[in-house]
Structure 1
């Protein structure tokens, strides 16, 4: 009897981890406009959900099942977030303001595959260079490291653009012409 109880707890825990991970990924796909993939994933998600909830509701007198369901849900949120970090879908735009106007910085970033637009700016303490940099999210942290190596005092604000139209850079990324090398190249 005890072995059955432990097995049931493990099954419920695992089912809910998988369910919530699918839920998280489906929500991200929905937000990224991947509606057909999100819809397909939701069909699998709902089957997993019904099975897990059914196991708990059929055994409501067993408090450990309810606890396993709740803990599985919490772990599923963490697992789903980790999966999303690894998938890193979409793009980010980083607005960077450097300490000094450096003509070589935009060129160096472009050579690494980043989409860069730059212009002269003036701040409280004098002339600066402002850059708007577009990159796939999977290269976001590498971009920050590159900028910090060049200008440790650079001011960086990043956001995820909802819509991107036009420009040579986006077309090149979609055709696989940029960021197609090894992880160390960018």
Structure 2
């Protein structure tokens, strides 16, 4: 009997971890405009959800099943976040403001394959170099590391662009190429 109860808890935990991970991935794909892949994942997701919920509802007298369902949901959120971090879908736009006003900064970034647009600006404490850098999210940490190596005090802001049109670098982005 105890083996059966433990097996049920493990199954409910696993089902919910998988369900919520799929849910997270589907939401990300939906936000990234991958509607057909998101729809396919949602079909699988709903099957997993119904099976897991059914196991809990069939045994409502077993509080440990309900607790396993809740813990599985929480672990699924964490797993989904980790998966999303590893997938790193999409692109980021990074704006860098630095006191390091030299061509080597932009040239170093360009040599590493990043698309850089730069201009001079004037801040509260004088002249600044401002750069906008577009890169696939999977190269985000590498970009920050490179920036910090050149100027540890650089001011960095990043955001995800919703739409990207034009520019010489867009073709490279669509092919997933970035020399690193």
Indicate the TM-score class for this superposition, using the shorter chain for normalisation. Answer: over 0.9
Say whether 1:150 aligns with 2:142: no
- Tell me the CA shift for residue 105 of structure 1: 1.2
RMSD: 0.9
Structure 1 residue runs without a partner (length 5+): none
- Tell me the CA shift for residue 82 of structure 1: 0.1
| Whole-angstrom CA distance in 2 between matches of 1:5 and 1:167 | 60
Structure 2 residue runs without a partner (length 5+): none
- What's the counterpart of residue 32 of structure 2? 32
| Whole-angstrom CA distance in 2 between matches of 1:13 and 1:173 | 39
User: Which runs of structure 2 are paired with 1:61-100 in the superposition (5 Å)?
Assistant: 61-100=61-100
Say whether 1:6 aligns with 2:20: no
Equivalent residues of 1:100, 1:127 under 8 A apart: no
Equivalent residues of 1:98, 1:153 under 8 A apart: yes
Q: Which sits farther off after the overlay, 45-54 or 108-117?
A: 108-117
Q: Which sits farther off after the overlay, 100-109 or 111-120?
A: 100-109
- What's the counterpart of residue 170 of structure 1? 170
TM-score, normalised by the number of residues in structure 2: 0.98
SS at match of 2:169: helix
| Whole-angstrom CA distance in 1 between matches of 2:172 and 2:143 | 18
- Tell me the CA shift for residue 95 of structure 1: 0.5
Equivalent residues, number = 180
| Whole-angstrom CA distance in 2 between matches of 1:12 and 1:60 | 13
- Tell me the CA shift for residue 175 of structure 1: 2.7
SS at match of 1:61: coil
Say whether 1:120 aligns with 2:111: no
- Give runs of ≥4 in structure 1 deviating > 2 Å: none
SS at match of 1:168: coil
TM-score, normalised by the number of residues in structure 1: 0.94
| Whole-angstrom CA distance in 2 between matches of 1:106 and 1:60 | 62
- What's the counterpart of residue 16 of structure 2? 16
| Whole-angstrom CA distance in 2 between matches of 1:112 and 1:17 | 38
SS at match of 1:166: coil
Equivalent residues of 1:100, 1:129 under 8 A apart: yes
